[in-house]
Amino acid sequence: MSEDIGKNKNNHQSRLFNPPKNEKIPTAIIRQIRTAIIQGKLVPGQALPNEKELIKEFNVSKHTLREALRTLEWLGLITIKLGAGGGPVVREIDFENARDYFTSFFHFQKVSRHDLFEMRKLTEPYIARRVAETLTDETMNNLERIHENCRLLLESGQNLVGAEAEILFHVCLAKHTNNNILWVLMDFVNNILADLKMEIKPGLDFSYKVMKAHQKIIDAIKARDPFGAERAMMDHIQEVASELDSLAEKQNLAP
């Protein structure tokens, strides 16, 4: 009975993939396996067919298959277990992997400060308003804890530029919308922005302005004032954009 189940499973998996046509072979293999994972035909923890079976299904060489599997492993879609009984196993895509995909892609797209701030203006005021509308004690406690960490850093003479606590303030807001797309997007945007700030190197006065702006946002959210939180966030984004553009222009840095 167990042997019949195993045969049915292999027959089902064999129908997932087809030999590549009119496409670079490793790319076609990657695309087909990735699509099967996204569509739920392959689930986290599930083993793919063994190497011999995959070579037969895709009608490719061992070298070509291994090249595609290495790329899928680098992308975080599979884990390749070594030893007897090993092979490619589907893994769950975690938050860090999602962020790395964004970062890897946009690294080559010449993202400008204008692009980042346009995205922030389109999303973060809404996020602040949404959090004020749906505020919970947990959200408020998290925001105040992060803000307090920023204050302690600044009081010790440390610049908030590039500090994890400063990035977390904005990411925390996005996370508490319970919208995972906004969460991943804001984590990516604010980490890229932190890199830009590190390049421009604004002084401590910039960090004090950031702290003041964050306090206004917190106050509006705590008062459950959605539109006040929205305005405070927009004011903050515009102030940061103006400050960084001014400093970058003095340093002859690209927009």
Confidence check: pLDDT of 241 > 70: yes
Measured distance CA(171)–CA(98) in Å, rounded: 14
pLDDT of residue 12: 43
How sure is the predictor about 7, in pLDDT bands with cuts at 50, 70 and 90? very low
Give the residue-averaged pLDDT of 116-134: 96
Beta strands in 14-108 (DSSP E): 78-81, 87-90
* Matching residue, tokens 């105040």: 144
C-alpha distances (whole Å) from 29 to each of 49, 64, 86, 117 are 13, 9, 20, 37
Q: Using CA atoms, how far apart are residues 154 and 207, in angstroms rounded to an integer? A: 8
* pLDDT at residue 128 greater than cutoff 50: yes
pLDDT tens per residue across span 40-99: 888 999 999 888 899 998 989 999 999 999 988 887 889 998 877 778 999 887 666 666
Q: What is the pLDDT of residues 158-179, one digit of tens each?
A: 999 888 889 999 999 999 999 9
Q: Where does the pLDDT of residue 109 fall: very low under 50, low under 70, confident under 90, or very high at 90 and above?
A: low
Span 176-206, pLDDT tens digits: 999 988 988 898 888 888 888 988 999 999 9
Neighbours of 147 (CB within 10 A): 20
User: What is the separation, in whole angstroms, between the first and last Cα of the chain?
Assistant: 67
Contact 47, 85 (CB under 8 A): no
Adjacent-strand bridge partners of 89: 47, 79
H-run or E-run covering 163? none
pLDDT of 150 above 80? yes
Asked whether the predicted pLDDT for residue 1 surpasses 50, the reply is no
Q: Domains, the chain, ranges and CATH?
A: 2-90 (1.10.10.10), 96-250 (1.20.120.530)
| Predicted confidence band of residue 219 (pLDDT cuts 50, 70, 90) | very high
The Cα–Cα gap between 197 and 161 comes to 6
Q: What is the CA radius of gyration of the chain?
A: 24
* pTM confidence score: 0.69
